[in-house]
Amino acid sequence: MADIQYSSLLAEIQEKAAQEAAQLSAQSEARLKQKTADLESKKQQILAKVQSEQEHQLSQLQRMLKSNLDMEKRRSHLKKQESVLKEIQQRVHSVMQQKIKDKDYKEILCGWVCEAVLALPGDEFIIKTSPEEIGLLNAEMLKKICQMVADLGAGRTVSLSVNKREHILGQGVVVSLPDNKLLFSNTIQDRLARYDSQIRTYIFETVFKTV
């Protein structure tokens, strides 16, 4: 009788142990699945973050490259404009230098002197010019310029004289008051500089706008 009770108790203990073992195994498997799922979720999060950072870095790199390319294009564009401007200036100097020999050039010179005089105060002026042009500003031409000033300046009376001891560099005229404290430069170089913005606009509109 005792053996039967012992066997029954042992079977019961073994059954409970088997149940507990099965329960522990199920719990362990559930925890393992949950941990695996958590790790997979973190893995996907990390991959998504890495991909996002890579895309952001790639986007930044693309913007930087585009900015550098645009800047290089602008630099190249400006260099071309400067090259064209320089060529035009050289051609203007060359053409105007040749015009000194033309009979009509005296009228151009008169206009430059008149413009300078009208831009300055006073009634007495000194004219400086280049060695090639100084012979054109004779007494007859100075008288003509004075009349032009009177006509354009509402009867303004002025006297002009030419400085034959000092010459300017380049072509054109520089008109000043006798004390030389105030002057107006109408050299070719300074006239080109005054119209620089208009010349650049013209170059852009006619040469580069459609490129």
Q: Note the pLDDT tens digit of each residue in 109-131.
A: 999 999 999 999 999 999 999 99
Residue 55 confidence (pLDDT): 74
Higher-pLDDT residue of 180, 171: 171
- Which range, 19-28, 68-77, 137-146, 186-195, is most confident? 137-146
* CA–CA separation, 117 and 82 (whole Å): 32
CA distance 202 to 207: 8
The answer to whether the Cα torsion of 186, 189, 194, 198 is positive or negative is: positive
pLDDT higher than 70, residue 211 = no
Res 171 pLDDT > 90? yes
62 touches 154 (CB < 8 A): no
Residue 51 predicted with pLDDT over 80: no
Q: What are the residues facing 125 on neighbouring strands?
A: 160
What are the backbone dihedrals phi and psi of residue 127, each rounded to the nearest 5 degrees, phi first? -110, 130
Res. 66: pLDDT tops 60: yes
Say yes or no to pLDDT of 22 above 90. no
Output the pLDDT for position 6: 57
Q: What is the pLDDT of residue 38?
A: 76
Give the residue among 141, 147, 131, 181 at the shortest CA–CA distance from 161.
141
Q: What is the mean pLDDT of residues 70-74?
A: 71
Among 135, 156, 137, which residue's Cα sits nearest to residue 146? Answer: 156
The whole-number pLDDT of residue 114 equals 95
Q: What pLDDT score does 195 carry?
A: 85
